[in-house]
Amino acid sequence: MNNQNKISSDSKIATAGLIFEEPVVFELGSPGRKAYSLPACDVPEIELETLLPADEIRGPIKELPELSELDVVRHYTRLSQWNFSIDTNFYPLGSCTMKYNPKINETLARLPGFAGHHPISSDDDSQGSLQLMFELQECLKEISGMDHVSLQPAAGAQGEFAGMLMIQAYHAAQGNPRKKVLLPDSAHGTNPASATLCGYKSVQIPSNSEGLIDIDKLEAFMDEETAAIMLTNPNTLGMFEKDILKITEIVHRKGGLVYCDGANLNAVMGIVKMGQMGIDVLHINLHKTFSTPHGGGGPGAGPVCIKNILEPYLPKPVVEKKGHKYILNYDRPESVGKLKVFNGNFGMLLRAYVYIRTLGPEGILEAAQSAVLNANYIRAKLKDTFHLPFTGASLHECVFNDKGQGITTMDFAKELIDHGFHPPTVYFPLIVKGALMIEPTETESKETLDMFIEAMKSIAKKGQEDPESFHDAPRLPKVSRPDEARAARQPILRWGGC
Ligand SMILES: *Cc1c(COP(=O)(O)O)cnc(C)c1O
């Protein structure tokens, strides 16, 4: 409780506005209190010990809280109010595309025919769900320009892993699985992790002074032991790899394949087709680009899209249409296997399908254009206040840093919370020292962007005048500056720290 905000701990009041103090659940309740009442038993009671072996029966749990339904509802509702969410305010977390998730997605995902459909029903009893998956695959093929799609991966990172497994299977079938994977130094950390999980050695290609892949270095590094390049387009600086055709040509010439991390598809959907740029594998984050809720660890959906040459290796089962019937095809002898129980996170697929069908081709294009417009509006308004390490054209996000500021990037992030904004992505991409990566997304209005721009400018001004005053920011939330690494690795979930 030593991280309590100043307002409540100094004055010992129980609330900050309408945000209440909240003890851990173990401190609540009272012995014998219950959240349920059952009718009297109408059959004789039998001791559990007579039914189960002793080692199957757990002992009593010490200090388990005993609570009423109201205790539980209020506790968790109050805790939920401590969270920042896209439904409460602007969330410009770069690379994560925290766009608003339209409520119609939620309404349709709750249709009883989908929500109550058992995942091990037969194909005959699952025609509606299979049709939806098949049509979503068709939509993603159209948007990406790729030949086949697997909806199974549960996250972008798993889509990458699936893609790299297919690349490895392809090279193995040519007689040599190869040893290395090339990665630009601006890559998201999941890229080298996926390559490493497949047993590949990651080789970093430095970016050039424009923040793009250095073509000469790529030429020098690319050889016949290199399985693939894993690039991101637009890259994590929000910039389009304008030499993409040259890059894919260099890699293909030596027999390598091109993996594209499509997490930033929000900037280019409806404008360019990755399949026409020489990309062989692409993953898409439905939970970013196609508005399914994310944050806090999931669930997500990271479909992987491929070219025909990789088709035999697709994860199984594959959703296919045979005549008028939709089926799950398990008869795939060269498949890299099954990645996820059942068919991945079906609820996410459904939400993405609703979003794509609601927008249609014109809406998808307009969303991308608006995302780029919003990011460039912020860039133009802040470029005289903040240093832009790379000055080339930005698409859907812009990356500033803290050069020349009176305070650090972390101070900006913390202070923004007191202004009611979620901080942008900070200290990423790693090639920008003190990076502040802002992605507004298309769903924000000019008024919201203007408020954010004003907040950034006023913090910068105060940072020059009184840098010391930032050390205790943020002052308004319940938790101010926790030890972030420890909070993630050793969360204290039980009172008493055990
Ligand atoms: C989010 C992201 C990923 C990883 O996606 P997850 O769904 O979080 O696993 C990979 N690359 C980039 C560029 C991303 O922004």
Q: End of a domain among 331, 358, 385?
A: 358
- Residue whose Cα lies nearest atom 2 of ligand 1: it is 263
pLDDT tens-digit readout, 293-322? 887 766 899 999 999 999 999 999 999 999
Whether residue 123 is contained in a domain is answered as: yes
How many CB atoms are closer than 10 A to CB 144?
25
Average pLDDT of the chain is: 92
Q: End of a domain among 313, 329, 358?
A: 358
Q: Please indicate, yes or no, whether residues 344 and 371 belong to a single structural domain of this protein.
A: no
Average pLDDT, stretch 184-194? 96
Residues 6+ apart with CB under 8 A from 114: 108, 128, 129, 132, 346, 347, 350
Nearest atom in ligand 1 to the alpha carbon of residue 97 is: 15
Asked if residue 202 has pLDDT above 50, the reply is yes
Whether residue 93 is contained in a domain is answered as: no
Q: Please indicate, yes or no, whether residues 395 and 309 belong to a single structural domain of this protein.
A: no
Q: Please indicate, yes or no, whether residues 304 and 350 belong to a single structural domain of this protein.
A: yes
Ligand 1 centre to CA of 292 (Å) is 14
Q: Which of 96, 190, 259 to mutate to test the pocket of ligand 1 (most atoms within 8 A of CB)?
A: 190
Q: Please indicate, yes or no, whether residues 248 and 326 belong to a single structural domain of this protein.
A: yes
Percent of the chain with pLDDT over 90: 83
What's the pLDDT score for residue 497? 45
Whether residue 7 is contained in a domain is answered as: no
pTM: 0.89
Q: Please indicate, yes or no, whether residues 476 and 343 belong to a single structural domain of this protein.
A: no
140 vs 350: CA distance, rounded Å: 13
Q: Please indicate, yes or no, whether residues 373 and 353 belong to a single structural domain of this protein.
A: no
Whether residue 199 is contained in a domain is answered as: yes
Q: Please indicate, yes or no, whether residues 353 and 373 belong to a single structural domain of this protein.
A: no
CATH of the domain at 436: 3.90.1150.10
Whether residue 439 is contained in a domain is answered as: yes
Average pLDDT, stretch 250-264? 98
Q: Among 27-41, 246-260, 364-378, name the one with the lowest average pLDDT.
A: 27-41
Q: Please indicate, yes or no, whether residues 184 and 261 belong to a single structural domain of this protein.
A: yes
What's the pLDDT score for residue 275? 97
- Residue whose Cα lies nearest atom 6 of ligand 1: it is 156
Whether residue 252 is contained in a domain is answered as: yes
What's the pLDDT score for residue 487? 84
pLDDT tens-digit readout, 115-166? 999 999 999 999 999 999 999 999 999 999 999 999 999 999 999 999 999 9
Residue 333: pLDDT band with limits 50, 70, 90: very high
Q: Which of 186, 261, 288, 292 to mutate to test the pocket of ligand 1 (most atoms within 8 A of CB)?
A: 261
Using DSSP, how many helices (H) and how many strands (E) does the chain show?
14, 14
Residue 19: pLDDT band with limits 50, 70, 90: low
Please tell me if the CB atom of residue 235 comes closer than 6 angstroms to any atom of ligand 1.
no
Nearest to 367 by CA among 381, 379, 356, 380: 356
Average pLDDT, stretch 65-69? 94
Residue type present at position 35: A
Whether residue 423 is contained in a domain is answered as: yes
What's the pLDDT score for residue 14? 46
More confident: 38 or 152: 152
Q: Please indicate, yes or no, whether residues 274 and 386 belong to a single structural domain of this protein.
A: no
What's the pLDDT score for residue 404? 97
pLDDT tens-digit readout, 357-383? 999 999 999 999 999 999 999 999 999
Q: Please indicate, yes or no, whether residues 319 and 404 belong to a single structural domain of this protein.
A: no
Q: Please indicate, yes or no, whether residues 131 and 264 belong to a single structural domain of this protein.
A: yes
CATH of the domain at 207: 3.40.640.10
Instruction: Residue 347: give the domain boundaries.
Output: 106-358
Ligand 1 centre to CA of 67 (Å) is 39
Q: End of a domain among 358, 392, 416?
A: 358
